[in-house]
Amino acid sequence: MANAVTHFEIHGIDGKKSQDFYASLFGWKIDANNPMNYGMVSAPGGEGIGGGIAPAMGQPMVTIYVEVEDLDATLKMAESLGGKTILPPSEVEGGPKLAQFADPDGNVIGLTQAGTM
């Protein structure tokens, strides 16, 4: 079975401005009531996937997160195929266990540990 995309992130130069833009454009309800001002976007009516909109910690980017059984094994495979680990397996306090890699073209792809989202 193929791995599912379970989350997206949009990092903008001005996180609040990005949150307002996407809320207005798509009618998304964005909850940024947390210390990091990370705007959580719920899947409307249970359709599609949820995500987040936040301030960029560098260049603006869009990242998708794919759920996998084993973060370390997936990163190792990505590297064997020409990718590069960007973020080793990490636990988000109160959230998922995740990692990130860059594909051979430099696109950042996120991974979530199965069962932690």
Q: Quick: pLDDT tens for 78-90.
A: 999 999 999 999 9
Q: Where are the beta strands (DSSP E) in 3-57?
A: 5-12, 30-31, 39-41, 51-55
Mean pLDDT along residues 60-77 = 95
Q: Is CATH 3.40.1110.10 correct for 5-113? A: no
DSSP, res 14: S
Confidence class for position 2, pLDDT limits 50, 70, 90? confident
Query: Taking 80 as the threshold, does the pLDDT of residue 1 lie above it?
Result: no
DSSP, res 20: H
Beta carbons of 38 and 32 less than 8 angstroms apart: yes
* SS3 (DSSP) at 18: helix
Mean pLDDT along residues 4-31 = 94
